Structure 1
């Protein structure tokens, strides 16, 4: 068989489907940090054998979303203050690089895409839907990174954004007014439209610094 003879796989594997569902449950807080994953319970819930379930869980271990404890099993990772800082420090590096690429390209096209995500945030805030608000918040940063056109930045951000979604679930209770989150993102878009790179970067940095301090009081983005 040659490389040309390989046929595309049309359907997602069972392990892939399970992994995707577990990621979503971790992201949206259905399986909060520290949750132990029981093979028997999950195999029954998904109606699958343990083989694909174990493969799926090992994928999440390799992605850093599950941790293995000897003689105890697998657990959703805990977000300790140092972990929160690590997530946002890495995100700052990626999003800073993305902004530099964006500002050298079609800023208006990027701003228009970001407008859509902020509109979704505002709608979620109006309907008092914190889950939808966090989903739209995450989408803003996915779009920002994707607009850089750099596939490697997008790939690097994938697991970080899942961990970020976990952080956003925890952040939901720290804002006195949800429109604070909407306004922060609108200010970033305005600076992108103006072509004001230093302001975009400063706003993003402040946005992440604020999140770190809300989630891990006494911890800062930069030492």
Structure 2
């Protein structure tokens, strides 16, 4: 489905979104335990007219679910924002809190699922329920020329949102997929989680190699 013909709904779920009972239950539990946390759907973060869209899986419990900004407060954000700063997609200093003054430069970061899931594992139904927000984000930002999917689920969610067959665009770290008719390319990386970096499934050099490709695509 061409994005120009997409039904542009709201870009973000409401702060008290009731759509996914399991996620709502966890949110309410954490509000009792940590009333000073964000504990709500985490909105996208970035600049207007972005050329790069970064898609993660879902907020981390002590990261975005706590701070209210994607990839802020956990190790994944340490690596992601450091790399984005190095490649000119961010400006300022990342201090792992939403008031650190960091801004993105021609980039936007979002998640396939906007709420924290138990064990960081959203269900298929929760992913489908949140997909319209991703589609609306894409439709509202026609300037996007590159999409970076962090992990297989983000990759598959993006393809499904565009109604593209997964078999035609297999996930692989470092892969670059042309998307005829959409004016953008899809880039794949293993998720920049602490687990992946601790196990050396993803190294900093591997992550930077993906950004090398993105920068060549977006001079």
TM exceeds 0.5?
A: no
The TM-score, its normalising length taken from structure 2, stands at 0.26
More strand per residue: 1 or 2? Answer: 2
More helix per residue: 1 or 2? Answer: 1
The TM-score, its normalising length taken from structure 1, stands at 0.25
